[in-house]
A and B are shown apart, each in its own frame.
Chain A
Amino acid sequence: MKKHLLLSTILGFALTGAALAEKHPVTGEELAANQAYSYWMLDAIKSIDPHILASVEDSDVARSLFEGLYDEDGDGNLVPAGALENTVSEDLTTYTFKLRPEAKWSNGDPVVAQDYVDGWQRLVDPATASEYAWYMELMQVVNAAEVIAGTKPPAELGVKAIDANTLEVKILAPLPYFTKMLTHPSTFPSNKANEAKFGADWTKPENLVGNGPYLLKEHIPGEKVVMEKSPTYWDAASVIMSPITALTINDENAALVRFQAGELDRTTVPAGQFPRLSAEFPDEAKSTPYSCSYTYIMNLGEGVGNPALKDVRVRKALSYALDRDIVVNNILQGGQRPAYNWTHWALNGFTVPVIDYSTWTQAERDTKAAELLAEAGFTAENPLKLTINYNTSEAHQKIAVAVQQMWKQKLAVELTPQNFEWKVHTDKMKAGDFEMARYAWCGDYNEASTYLDLFTQYSGQNDAKFANDAYDALLKEAKTLADPSPNYTKAEEILAAEMPMIPIYHYAKVDMIKSDIKGLPENNVQQTWYAKDLYRIQK
């Protein structure tokens, strides 16, 4: 018996030895024996349920446990996942998806078209009360709005299963980026039987049934989520990394220490630390563009905010005098780019329009700013007094304080930064109770309209209360155009001319990543990543 055990141990070693020499099936790189991966999360996972979750961190985990119709590759292009291909009708409003027949749930059931129908209906069902139900409205799926409002039953949503492997979706109007929206977890299928069986407990590790490359092993909120490779996944053969561990660490600096101590493979770089870290660890410090834009919006609403800001000269003066290079090079220092327009520069297929003042030197901008402000009647003797709201965060605070000094020194503007915690800040912004406010927007999908739509009058997020009919018309028209780029350029020009907000910088994702980890996206501005694409090479 004992001998037997010994023998099997030796055999086991031999087998692992064989695995050691394994090569990556596509790139041919030699793989390390250790394929465990752990990464940093700021906060605890709020929900794993794809139709309930709302945060980026939730989505990262959900993409490992579940799979939707399409995935994204490292450049942000669509890759067939649950769907093999799709066809679209002549009028561009009916999509038909051919589903992957071999896709399975982790309990062995095949993933069928009806599961997608169930999932999509579940998202909009008022009983689910999903915060992301609007996503289906954004996708323009027929009857989505009515189902959410409760005027039509979920069954009338414009999605149906033609047969087990054919899914048909009807949308209200042509939407050029419709398929790009299908990578979001809100559009994932749903295993109705399992959800019914366990009710609210179905996301517990022991109950969860998923169709993704990983299984949920452990979930301790505030500490960690552990996932292991799923044997039932249709492409299990090419999944290399396992287990995947997401650690919640509320303090970025503590996370960096733990990265340096070898407890993490990926963590974020605290503001201002990138230059030092990239000098010290050139292989590990990485900065890649990330589809979010940072701005100060100004309250243009009637009867609210600061009357001085209703004058476009004042708004322009403030924007010109804000030295973005200092914000980017001296405060953030992480490869972010100064922003003179609203849409993130790295978006797929987007060409940054040439905005007049982006080509000037800062000295020219400052001179122009002083002129404009004087024209508007504000001088050192009669200084402009303003407040800016920002939410609690080291970086926001630094930027606000720096801007205060810039405006004070260049324009004699008396700016009072007001710090509020997040909920209060948001509440004030939504209620129009602010003069200027810090704001940032992250693109929902990889296309410029996700940014530009924000400042239309029909957008629910237009907290600046910017109202410009020509702008709205341009964006409405863009939805139907084969090439909407000219419209986007014109829209950006209107924003620069009217300056309802001061664009400050375009985000970058600044991370420390162990140099032997491969497969993370390098050019995907959405920063959508898939644990199944990762691997660790032998060094």
Chain B
Amino acid sequence: MLSFIFKRLLVAIPTLLILIMLSFLLMHAAPGGPFTQDRAIPPEILANLNAKYGLDQPLWRQMITYVWGIVAHFDFGPSFIYKDRTVNEIIAQGFPVTLTYGAYAFALAVVAGVSLGVMAAIFHNTWADYLAVGISIGAQVLPNFVMAPILVVVFTLWLGWLPGGGWEGGKWPYVIMPMIALATAYMASIARITRSSMLEVLTSNHIRTARAKGLPTWKVITRHALKPALIPVISYLGPAFVAMITGSVVVDMYFSTGGIGKAFVDAALNRDYAVMMGVTLLVGFLTIVFNLLVDVLYAWIDPKIRY
């Protein structure tokens, strides 16, 4: 197990290096640069700017300097657009925000999704099943950029219960709508996966045996069926969590939460090379870590799996 983890982490290094090179080249191939403006900057001033940010160096040297900065000082460089800030500061400020509402949304998605899925499976082919399936597909196909304005209009404008945006350090009224907007689609997926795997488990022999022994349904579910039924759900969780982090751009735009999703899209559109690299790397790293975590969890739940 340990050697497996070690090996996976070792593979992460070339993966991240390739990620750096790929995004670096893509970014620099894109038309326009961080200082491209409608009010053209005179060439002398542009030269000063390029010198200050090292953009006058050849591309390979910029890339080496960049990687060296990360390896040697854990320094991702200054932002080219938000000039008062470094990339480290931007990530340190935005990432905890995203992580916070992401974690809440994740918890909500898992709890609600699994419950919905289990309910649908138990009451297979009854109205409860159809309702649960309907809700989950409905939630899955309603894009969160539709969900977000609906939430704001209802809860802020009509009911006046919740503030229409902002973060305020993560006080709970500010977390609720981002959490719901982000969670629904994942909740739906989890419900669907849980339902189908639960149905499968419920028809298996050991559950039939348990039922034959006369155990009440809820006991059969919680003691015997739930754990094996959750295995496919777990393999979904890793990519889902990462997708939530990247999908947070809608939340950041509607609720002004100041998270990392918006920072990335802004960086890409503004050609803020350093921020774009920093966030890409961060998310790449998270992807690797979460996929690894999921595999470990998998092995832990299902003893049959050996690495």
**How does the 8 Å CB contact mask read for B210-223 relative to A, with 1 for contact and 0 for none?**
00000000000000
**A263-B39 contact in complex given A251-B253, A257-B157, C-beta closer than 8 Å:** no
- Asked if A153 CB lies within 8 Å of chain B CBs, one says no
Interface contact B36-A247, CB-CB below 8 Å: no
Q: Of A43, A134, A222, A260, which one neighbours B157 at CB under 8 angstroms?
A: A260
- Asked if B254 CB lies within 8 Å of chain A CBs, one says yes
* 487-518 of chain A: CB within 8 A of chain B: none
> Could you tell me the distance between the alpha carbons of A345 and B32 in the complex, rounded to whole angstroms?
33
> Could you tell me the distance between the alpha carbons of A250 and B40 in the complex, rounded to whole angstroms?
25
- Asked if A396 CB lies within 8 Å of chain B CBs, one says no
> Could you tell me the distance between the alpha carbons of A440 and B37 in the complex, rounded to whole angstroms?
12
> Could you tell me the distance between the alpha carbons of A477 and B165 in the complex, rounded to whole angstroms?
53
Give the nearest-CB partner of A439 in chain B: B38
Q: Of A204, A263, A424, which one neighbours B31 at CB under 8 angstroms?
A: A424
Rounded to whole Å, the gap between the CB of A198 and the closest CB of chain B is: 11
Cβ–Cβ < 8 Å partners of A421 in chain B: 269
**How does the 8 Å CB contact mask read for B163-189 relative to A, with 1 for contact and 0 for none?**
111110000000000000000000000
User: How many residues of chain A have a CB within 8 Å of chain B?
Assistant: 54
- Asked if A360 CB lies within 8 Å of chain B CBs, one says no
- Asked if B85 CB lies within 8 Å of chain A CBs, one says yes
Binding stretch for chain A, among B64-72, B108-116, B256-264 = B256-264
Interface contact B262-A250, CB-CB below 8 Å: yes
**A221-B163 contact in complex given A131-B35, A134-B45, A150-B44, C-beta closer than 8 Å:** no
- Asked if A14 CB lies within 8 Å of chain B CBs, one says no
Cβ–Cβ < 8 Å partners of A148 in chain B: 42, 44-45, 48
* 250-284 of chain B: CB within 8 A of chain A: 252-259, 262-263, 266, 269-271
- Asked if A23 CB lies within 8 Å of chain B CBs, one says no
- Asked if A223 CB lies within 8 Å of chain B CBs, one says yes
Interface contact B48-A249, CB-CB below 8 Å: no
Binding stretch for chain A, among B76-84, B130-138, B197-205 = B76-84
- Asked if B152 CB lies within 8 Å of chain A CBs, one says yes
Rounded to whole Å, the gap between the CB of B200 and the closest CB of chain A is: 43
Rounded to whole Å, the gap between the CB of B48 and the closest CB of chain A is: 4
> Could you tell me the distance between the alpha carbons of A130 and B52 in the complex, rounded to whole angstroms?
10
**How does the 8 Å CB contact mask read for A132-159 relative to B, with 1 for contact and 0 for none?**
0110010000000100111000000000
- Asked if B94 CB lies within 8 Å of chain A CBs, one says yes
Rounded to whole Å, the gap between the CB of B234 and the closest CB of chain A is: 33
Q: Of A131, A149, A224, which one neighbours B44 at CB under 8 angstroms?
A: A149
Interface contact A423-B258, CB-CB below 8 Å: no
**How does the 8 Å CB contact mask read for A109-142 relative to B, with 1 for contact and 0 for none?**
0000000000000000011011101100100000
- Asked if B156 CB lies within 8 Å of chain A CBs, one says yes
Cβ–Cβ < 8 Å partners of B33 in chain A: 423
Interface contact A253-B257, CB-CB below 8 Å: no
> Could you tell me the distance between the alpha carbons of A145 and B44 in the complex, rounded to whole angstroms?
9
Interface contact B254-A52, CB-CB below 8 Å: no
Interface contact A263-B164, CB-CB below 8 Å: yes
Interface contact A249-B52, CB-CB below 8 Å: no
- Asked if A279 CB lies within 8 Å of chain B CBs, one says no
Rounded to whole Å, the gap between the CB of B180 and the closest CB of chain A is: 16
Rounded to whole Å, the gap between the CB of B30 and the closest CB of chain A is: 8
Cβ–Cβ < 8 Å partners of A127 in chain B: 48, 52
Rounded to whole Å, the gap between the CB of A389 and the closest CB of chain B is: 12
Interface contact B84-A49, CB-CB below 8 Å: yes
Binding stretch for chain B, among A97-105, A188-196, A406-414, A426-434 = A426-434
Interface contact B51-A254, CB-CB below 8 Å: no
* 278-292 of chain A: CB within 8 A of chain B: none
- Asked if B90 CB lies within 8 Å of chain A CBs, one says yes
Interface contact A423-B257, CB-CB below 8 Å: no
Cβ–Cβ < 8 Å partners of A126 in chain B: 48, 51
Give the nearest-CB partner of A44 in chain B: B82
**How does the 8 Å CB contact mask read for B223-258 relative to A, with 1 for contact and 0 for none?**
000000000000000000000000000001111111
> Could you tell me the distance between the alpha carbons of A389 and B37 in the complex, rounded to whole angstroms?
16
Rounded to whole Å, the gap between the CB of B253 and the closest CB of chain A is: 4
Residue ranges of B at the interface with A (Cβ–Cβ < 8 Å): 30-33, 35-42, 44-45, 48-49, 51-53, 78, 81-86, 90, 93-94, 149, 152-153, 156-157, 160, 163-167, 252-259, 262-263, 266, 269-271
Residue ranges of A at the interface with B (Cβ–Cβ < 8 Å): 43-49, 52, 54, 126-127, 129-131, 133-134, 137, 145, 148-150, 200, 203-204, 220-224, 247-251, 253-254, 257-258, 260-261, 263, 421-424, 426-430, 439-440, 460-461
Q: A49-B83, A148-B42, A423-B36 are in contact. List 15 more A-B contacts (CB 8 A).
A: A46-B82, A48-B84, A49-B84, A52-B84, A133-B48, A137-B42, A221-B82, A222-B256, A254-B253, A257-B152, A258-B156, A258-B163, A261-B164, A426-B37, A427-B32
The 10 A-B pairs with the shortest beta carbon distances in the complex, nearest first, are A423-B32, A222-B258, A223-B258, A258-B164, A427-B32, A129-B52, A126-B48, A129-B48, A427-B31, A250-B253
| Selected A-B contacts with CB under 8 Å, 27 pairs | A43-B266, A44-B82, A45-B82, A54-B37, A129-B45, A130-B45, A131-B45, A148-B42, A222-B94, A222-B258, A222-B259, A247-B165, A250-B254, A250-B256, A254-B164, A257-B156, A263-B164, A263-B165, A423-B30, A423-B32, A424-B30, A427-B31, A427-B32, A427-B36, A430-B40, A440-B38, A460-B40
